Every structure is written in structure tokens, then in C-alpha cells.
Structure 1
Amino acid sequence: MKPGKVVCFLLLMICCTLFACSDETTDKNASNHEIIKLEEKKKPESVHKEITMTAIGDMLIHDSVYEDAKVEKGYDFSPMLGHVKPYLKNSTITMANQETMIGGVELGLSSYPTFNSPYAVGDALKDAGVDVVTLANNHTLDGGNEAIQSAIRHWENIDMMYTGAYKNEADSNKLRVYHTDEGISVGFLAYTYGTNGIPVPDGKNYLVNLIDRGLMQTDIQKAKKQADIVVLSLHFGDQYTRLPNDEQKALVQFAADQGVDVVIGHHPHVLQPVDWVKGVNGNKTLVAYSLGNFLSGQDEFYRRIGGIFKFSVQKTINGDKESIEITSPKFMPTFVNYDHFSDFEVIPMFQLTNEELPNAKQHYKEIKQHMSQWMPGLKFIEK
């Protein structure tokens, strides 16, 4: 073979070899790319869900309040909640502490010291957007078994979830879990320190949940198995005292150690600050030690101030793993405005004029400082 032909032949062989290697590499790369794509498709995507929750303080219906609510065909409390209704309806779940039993007019309405309120209180809460009421408090037994049974019949008639007082043993054994359309479930528990010395009838412990750490521990663990989060209402503390006492703090710490997500406090009839409390397992529990009076006939200044407490619940699902986080606490101070114990209405404090409350802006500023003293980052709802 001539030298020129030898060179051409060698070049041809080299090119064939290179093309063959190139095709093989391309095939391998394509194959690897397809495997990576398949792996990416198999990898589960995170799913994020969120709900908002709202809690309000004591619905403490004195005679001055229900007399003011009197209309031609009964009672109507809805106008009293007109200013705050938009802030109650804009949450996934809204809860209220119904301090006075709504036994109805047939049992005879009454005020302090033993209360009985009209059914219409419940109707107004339902109309305003409330979904859950807590009934365990020091006035639960004011009207005895008859008032409790009458009230529960009405709560059931208007499809309102209630907790803390029950119609029978079977009812008390049924955990209250609110299932949202967003796929997040909330368990509600409620307990009170006592019942103003009125004894619980023998064999009828179901009429009211009393604070008992053993019972609470059992109920909390049961709730944690059935719901994504647990919200615990505690009726405790010293009346008219603006800071929680040591027993309140100890009970909240106990709740946090049990894994409770949120604690809502009632009974002092004045606002007490909000806080984050760390549980023994490193978890964080959101607490409002007292939400004060939302609607009442009490006339001392701080007893006319309550609030709307809001927060978010975020749920993340990643394959078989789920995580829950309580976020974005917010607060709106409210004021019970009236004129000579008539024309009662609950007004957001940021909306108050000096005619409604002299030096309104300064009072509002002081309440904001009071509520956020342990949570400097607390946001306030002002629109």
C-alpha cells in the first residue's frame, strides 16, 4: 500500500473510532439523564396548608346587658357585636368563652351572682362567626343541671361546638375535634378552677370539667392522637389582676410540657399578657393568660377592655412526615362602650374617638404595651 493511502486509511479508522465512542457516550448520558428524571418524579413534593384561628374573652351577660338587648319579640345581642363581627368572621375557626349559661327565659333570667342568660346570646355569637364555645367556668353550675341541659340543647340546635360542660357521660367522653376544609384538625379542651362553691352533683361530674392535672394529662394525650393541634382553655387566676399569678404560670408550664399548642385563659376579667412558653421537649406553646371581658356590664375601666387574639396554624406534609407550627400571633384590644348602661357595643380600641373614651389614643398605647411586654414582636390588628 502506498504511503498516502496508508495515512488516509489510518485517519479513517481514527474517525470511526471517535464517532463510535461519541455515540456510546451520548447513549450513556441520555440513559443517565432519564434515570435522574425518573428519580425526580418519584421524589414527593412538600404540601403546605394553613388555617387562622381567633379567640375572644368572656361573654359575661349582666342584667344591664340583656335588658339593653330587649326587643319586641325577645332579645337581640347582634347589634352589640356589629363593630367586631368582621374580625370574628374572617378566621377559619373562632372561639369564645361563654361565661354565663344560656338557660333561656323559661328558666328565668338572672344576673350576678348566679347568672342565666337568653338563648339569643348564642344566636348572636353564631351570627358573628363564632364556631366553638367554652363552658367550663365558675358560673357553670349557677342554674344547676336544668340550665346546663337547656343551654346545650340550644347550642346543638344552632350547630355550635361546645366544650367544658356536657349533657351526660357519653357526651363528656366525646373529644371535641374541629375538622377544617383545609385538612387541619383542632382539638378543644376546657377546665375551670371551681364553681363558686356550688358542689358538682353526685354522679354528674360530666356537668363541668374541673382543673385536675391527672384528668388533663389523659385528655391532652387523647386529643394529641386525634387532632393536629390542641387548644386548651383554662378558667383560672385572680379576678381583676392584670398579671398572671404563680399557679397560672405553673399550669401553663404543665400544659406546655404535655405538648399543648395553645392555651387561652379566662376569669380575671381584665387583660393579661400573651407569651410563648417552652415545653420540656423543646416545643413552644402560645398562651394568652387572660383575654378579659369581651361583652359585660362591668363598669371599672380595665374590666371594659377585652380583645381578639388571632394566630395561624401551618401544616407541612413531606411524604410520610407531617409538621405543625403555630405562627403569626396578633391582637386587637376591644372596649365595651355604653351610655348610662344602655346602647352597649364592643368597639376595636384603635377605632375609639375621644368622645367615646377620653384620651383614647393614650389608653390604646398603654394596652398595647401591656399585652406585648413578654412578646415584643406581637403585632396588632389596626385595619
Structure 2
Amino acid sequence: MSNYPLSYKLSWLPRFLKPSLHGDAKDFGPAAADLMVPRPARTVQLAFIGDISAVASRQAPICDPALKSLLGSADLVIGNCESPIVERVRARFGTQIGTRHAMTEAFLVDALTAVGVRHDRLALSLANNHMLDQGAEGFEETVAALRRLGIQTIGTADGGPVQRVNAGDLTIGFAAFTMWRNAAEVVFSGRVSIEANPERWPAGSLERADLLCAVPHWGWEFRHFPQPEMAALANKLVADGFGLVVGHHAHVLQPVSLIGRVPVAYGLGDFLGTALARQPWPGRIGGVFTVDVSAEPESLGKVAAYRMHPFTRLREGGRERLVPVTELAGKWRARVEERLVRVLGAAQP
């Protein structure tokens, strides 16, 4: 059984059709900031992307050259693998109508090539509500596929609550976990990380990393602003020593906050469509969140700067085209920029 409350289930379709704007960007921080001036001479760049799925399109996307260059130049790209990677679906009906997710290894390879992301510079979180959509066998197939492709994974239970990934000269400790499940806890337990409280993690979990980064799958879908519970958890994670928090699950872009000097990007929206092919337009706005981390000894692991790069997913035939907001035109650009002002406080940070 899933762990969604009834009120959540009843609100899903109305909010999918019209994502909520209940909130105010003034309550959050800037969508881009230089936190160390002057910047350190040596930095490592992390690029975070949102949910990746093949539900909206079974073809690899077309990617704008500027966006492809941005992702290709990062030392490490971090995303959320929202769909199990399987060659044969097990939940056929649910997969056909889009409630159960699945993508093939070939789709993922083609998509990564299209957006310029190298396998050896990619880490994918498996800590999300859809990861058991094709059963335990589908989860195992996903882990095996990513290992075969040379893609690092985070958010798996057997890797411990914090999994360390090298990025340039730094070691980043990623704590990826999901607060939502589409199946019973017994199915997720032992496979996907579901514990959000560091106080319940084994001793020493937060050691041996230059930067601790939390990657929570949290909050309610199709809300542009985080709930108070999310803000409370973000504050707790920062108090526990995390220097960066970047979340997923809302499927719409959410604001950035600063807790002291720690950036919290609550939600990046979808990177590749995880809903219907003809999704309402607010769900087609996503963001690439770049974070420059100091590699200098005196400030090792400190966030030097961050920036949200909004983009949109347009339909082009049977596939999606990823386009920076600056490349849009006319009424479509005006509408997107108005939404960005409402959510981020700026159209293009």
C-alpha cells in the first residue's frame, strides 16, 4: 500500500491540471547568488536536474546547444531516475496509462547522449516513489543496467544512508531518500532509502565527505511552493551538517531558499516528462541547478555560488525539445517568465 493521505490523492488531478501557486517568492532566497567573493581559484561544478522518465515520450529529446553545453561542462550531473529501467514491463496496464513508470536502457542511453551527459559524470538517485513500479525484479534490473552503463547510483538501501561520489577533486556525500511510496514499506525496505532522519542513521554516516548533500524526494506534487514540513526538514538537515539540499517530486519548479549560507532548491520540476505527453504548460517548466563548490584547502567543500537555469520542454512531433527560457518568444515566453517571477522572484536569474 502507498503512504499517501486521502487528501493528497483527492487533490492530485485538480493540481495536475492547474498547479498551485499558493505561496510567495518573497519568503525565499534568490535563485542565483555568489556566496564567496572573490570566488575560489579552484571550484567543482555540480549540475542537478529533475525527474527523468519516458512516460511522456519514448524517444530521446532534442536539446538546445546552450543547455547541452551547460550539462556537458559540469564535473558531476545529479538527477532522479523516476522510472525503473526494464526491457519487459510487468505492470502492463498501469504502464500503458502512465500510472506505472518504465523506460528502456536504450532510451536512457539515447537521452543522455542527446543532452550531453557523460555516463562517468552522472549520479542517479533511485530513491523515489516509482522505483518499485515494476516490482522487485524491475528494481534489480535497474540497478544492474546502471552498473553496466557505468552510471553511479545514490539512494539505494544497501549503499547506506550517505553514498560518496567523486566530483573532480572533491568527495560528495549524497543522502538521497524518498518520503513517498507507491507500494508497501516492506517492498521498499532494504532496496530504497526511506529514512529521512539522520539521527536514525548508523554512526559515522556523515563522515568522510568534503560536502554533504541531501537529495530528498518530498512534498506534494504540482505545488510550486514547499509545505512547512519540507522547510522544517530542510532546517534539520542543515543543522545536522548538510551544506546543500536539492529535492524532487513536485513535477513543477519550486523556489530556492538560503538557510544561513546553505542553498536549498526545493524542486527542479521534470527534466524529461514524467506525466502525459500533453501535460499542462506549468509542468513543462524545469530547471538545471548548478552549484560551484570550492576545491581550495582553506574553504574545501563550501558552496561558492549557485544558479537556477530555467528551461521548458516543448513538443516536437513525438518527442520533447528542451529549450532555455531565453530562447522562447512571444506569448509563450511572456507566460513562462510571469510564472518564474511568481515562483523564483525573477524571470531569468
Please give the TM-score of this superposition, normalised by the length of structure 1. 0.71
Separation (CA, whole Å) in 1 of partners of 2:144 and 2:77:
21
1:87 to 70, 75, 81: 70
Separation (CA, whole Å) in 1 of partners of 2:309 and 2:319:
22
Q: 1:163 to 1:292 in 2, by over 3 A?
A: same
1:242 to 224, 228, 231: 224
5+ long unaligned stretches in structure 1: 1-46, 70-76, 279-283
What aligned pairs does 1:1-383 form with structure 2 within 5 A after superposition? 49-62=42-55, 64-66=56-58, 69=59, 77=60, 79-81=61-63, 83=65, 84-105=67-88, 110-111=95-96, 112-124=98-110, 126-127=112-113, 128-129=116-117, 131-165=122-156, 171-173=158-160, 175-181=162-168, 183-201=169-187, 205-214=189-198, 218=201, 222-278=204-260, 284-296=261-273, 297-298=275-276, 299-318=279-298, 323-339=300-316, 342-354=318-330, 359-373=331-345, 380=349
Separation (CA, whole Å) in 1 of partners of 2:183 and 2:165:
32
Q: 1:86 to 1:240 in 2, by over 3 A?
A: same
* Larger relative contact order (CA 8 Å, sep ≥ 6): 2
Separation (CA, whole Å) in 1 of partners of 2:257 and 2:265:
7
Aligned residue-pair number? 298
Q: 1:227 to 1:148 in 2, by over 3 A?
A: same
| 2:163 maps to amino acid | R
Q: 1:230 to 1:125 in 2, by over 3 A?
A: farther
| 1:294 maps to amino acid | F
Superposition misfits of 4+ residues, deviation over 6 angstroms: none
Quote how far apart the aligned CAs of 1:294 are.
1.4
RMSD: 2.6
5+ long unaligned stretches in structure 2: 1-39
| 2:218 maps to amino acid | F
In the other structure, the counterpart of 1:17 is none
Q: 1:65 to 1:232 in 2, by over 3 A?
A: same
Q: Tell me, what secondary structure is at the counterpart of 2:319?
A: coil
Q: 1:106 to 1:266 in 2, by over 3 A?
A: closer
CA shift digits 1:46-104 (9 cap, x unpaired)? x9531111001111321x411xx1xxxxxxx2x43455322211111111111111122
Between Structure 1 and Structure 2, the one with more helix by share is: 1
| 1:365 maps to amino acid | E
Please give the TM-score of this superposition, normalised by the length of structure 2. 0.77
- Check the 8 A contact 2:91/2:133 in 1, yes or no: no
Separation (CA, whole Å) in 1 of partners of 2:311 and 2:337:
13
> Which of these two proteins has the greater Rg computed from alpha carbons?
1
- Check the 8 A contact 1:126/1:158 in 2, yes or no: no
Q: 1:258 to 1:51 in 2, by over 3 A?
A: same
- Check the 8 A contact 2:50/2:270 in 1, yes or no: yes
| 1:287 maps to amino acid | V
Separation (CA, whole Å) in 2 of partners of 1:317 and 1:379:
33
CA shift digits 1:157-183 (9 cap, x unpaired)? 1110111135xxxx42385222234x2
